[in-house]
């Protein structure tokens, strides 16, 4: 078993949060030596870590620094503390994640500590979710659905003004306003919203456009909601496309194609299926339905993003389901299934996204929210 080293905070580093199981805002040291885990904490976090850190020996940073000073060391930074602990365990080489700080790696090498980047995933077991992790993802999904439900209610109660512009409680209903309605509901459900997408009309043809300005009736609005649980750090992710009023026939047909494309992808969500094969099947399904993908008039149109991605302590994690993806689905994978079609000539885009759990039998859809085009 490789000896591992991480130096990061667990609020932003998913690997650190995964293994330690507690939020710490400042970078700290994690070591796994001969299979045993330890964390080095400052005095502020020491007692909390002893209570909450998952199966980790908790070492005092200040005590390590005192040892270094008693030994005549002038520098007592994190690099020196790492070397001290490694020497105590007679270890001279450690493996670090790909995002390990370069400056710290150079400091360690100057201290004669061999640092190598661990190939592949730092914790491969993160890919396959436990039953407890599935519950945490499902809870985050519920937060997303709470926000989405508030958005649908606001759209249903909105009035249609001049030039098809929507009015909500007497004021223009903009992407910004609807996003604030979604985000407020998520925060009240103990979630953290970030970059929620409310993209109406042609703005929806850019899959990561957050959306801005007035929303209008009779055109598609993409609502993509992906909050993080404040309690656990796990993410939920859901997308629905809705029309306030009457959808054009061309939009109806695209919506139906995306819905059937998503169902086709779900039917392939079995352990052992190559992830790229699922994406290719969706691409071919759309092409056979007459919806081509490629560049037209200087911009991409059709289905030009991946079919899905892993979901957990990161919003985008392994495995990926795209044209260049490698690997196969495994029992315990939790992945989004989010095909979309984007054509300026129909006045916007359509994307639908649910979350699938790969099981030993049929895939389980963790998303409960209904799919309705017109509201």
The stretch 173-185 carries a mean pLDDT of: 98
CATH of the domain at 136: 3.90.230.10
CATH of the domain at 98: 3.40.350.10
Q: Give every CB contact of residue 334 below 8 A, 6+ residues apart in sequence.
A: 129, 133, 134, 137, 310, 311, 312, 355, 356, 357, 358, 366
Q: Which pLDDT score is estimated for 86? A: 97
Measure the CA–CA gap between 277 and 296, rounded to whole angstroms: 26
Residue 209 φ then ψ, to 5°: -70, 125
| Same structural domain, 186 and 300 | yes
| Same structural domain, 180 and 268 | yes
| Same structural domain, 310 and 344 | yes
> What is the pLDDT confidence band of residue 124, given thresholds at 50, 70 and 90?
very high
| Same structural domain, 115 and 138 | no
| Same structural domain, 269 and 247 | yes
| Same structural domain, 112 and 212 | no
Per the domain annotation, does 34 fall within a domain?
yes
User: Which one of 110, 126, 142 terminates a domain?
Assistant: 126
Query: For the chain, how many structural domains are there in total?
Result: 2
DSSP 27-71: -EEEEEETTEEEEEE-HHHHHHHHHHSTT-EEEEHHHHHHHHHHT
| Same structural domain, 170 and 43 | no
| Same structural domain, 152 and 88 | no
SS3 122: coil
Please report the sign of the dihedral spanned by the C-alpha atoms of residue 287, residue 289, residue 295, residue 299.
Answer: negative
Cβ atoms of 221 and 196 within 8 Å: the answer is: no
| Same structural domain, 41 and 161 | no
pTM reported for the whole predicted model: 0.96
Per the domain annotation, does 372 fall within a domain?
no
Structure token digits, residue 373: 């085009």
| Same structural domain, 260 and 345 | yes
pLDDT single digits (tens) 289-317: 999 999 998 899 999 999 999 999 999 99
- In degrees to the nearest 10, what's the CA dihedral of 166, 169, 175, 176? 150
Q: Which pLDDT score is estimated for 352? A: 98
Mean residue pLDDT across the chain: 97
| Same structural domain, 186 and 263 | yes
The pLDDT of residue 1 is above 90? no
The stretch 61-86 carries a mean pLDDT of: 97
The pLDDT of residue 54 is above 90? no
pLDDT single digits (tens) 205-230: 999 999 999 999 999 999 999 999 99
Q: Which domain holds residue 112?
A: 4-126
| Same structural domain, 43 and 140 | no
User: Which one of 104, 126, 148 terminates a domain?
Assistant: 126
Per the domain annotation, does 373 fall within a domain?
no
């Amino acid at each position: 078993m490789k000896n591992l080293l991480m130096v990061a905070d667990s609020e932003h580093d998913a690997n650190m949060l995964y293994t330690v199981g507690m939020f710490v805002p400042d970078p700290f040291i994690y070591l796994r030596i001969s299979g045993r885990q330890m964390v080095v904490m400052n005095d502020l976090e020491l007692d909390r870590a002893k209570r909450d850190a998952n199966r980790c020996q908790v070492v005092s940073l200040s005590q390590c620094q005192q040892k270094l000073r008693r030994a005549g060391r002038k520098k007592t930074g994190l690099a020196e503390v790492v070397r001290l602990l490694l020497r105590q365990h007679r270890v001279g080489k450690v493996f670090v994640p790909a995002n390990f700080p370069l400056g710290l790696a150079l400091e360690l090498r100057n201290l004669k500590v061999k640092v190598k980047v661990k190939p592949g995933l730092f914790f491969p077991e993160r890919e396959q979710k436990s039953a407890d992790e599935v519950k945490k993802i499902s809870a985050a999904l519920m937060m997303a659905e709470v926000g989405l439900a508030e958005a649908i209610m606001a759209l249903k109660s909105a009035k249609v003004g001049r030039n098809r512009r929507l009015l909500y409680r007497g004021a223009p209903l903009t992407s910004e306003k609807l996003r604030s309605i979604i985000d407020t509901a998520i925060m009240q459900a103990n979630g953290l919203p970030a970059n929620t997408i409310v993209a109406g009309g042609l703005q929806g043809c850019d899959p990561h456009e957050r959306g801005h300005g007035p929303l209008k009736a009779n055109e598609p609005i993409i609502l993509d909601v992906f909050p993080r649980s404040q309690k656990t750090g796990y993410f939920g992710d859901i997308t629905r496309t809705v029309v306030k009023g009457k959808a054009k026939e061309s939009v109806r047909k695209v919506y139906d194609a995306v819905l059937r494309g998503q169902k086709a992808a779900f039917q392939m969500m079995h352990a052992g299926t190559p992830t790229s094969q699922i994406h290719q099947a969706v691409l071919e399904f759309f092409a056979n339905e007459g919806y081509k993908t490629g560049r037209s008039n200087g911009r991409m149109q059709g289905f030009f993003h991946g079919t899905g991605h892993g979901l957990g302590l990161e919003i985008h994690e392994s495995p990926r389901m795209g044209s260049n993806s490698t690997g196969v689905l495994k029992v315990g994978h939790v992945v989004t299934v989010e095909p979309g079609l984007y054509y300026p000539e129909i006045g916007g885009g359509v994307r639908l996204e649910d979350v699938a759990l790969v099981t030993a039998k049929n895939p389980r859809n963790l998303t409960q929210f209904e799919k309705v085009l017109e509201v």
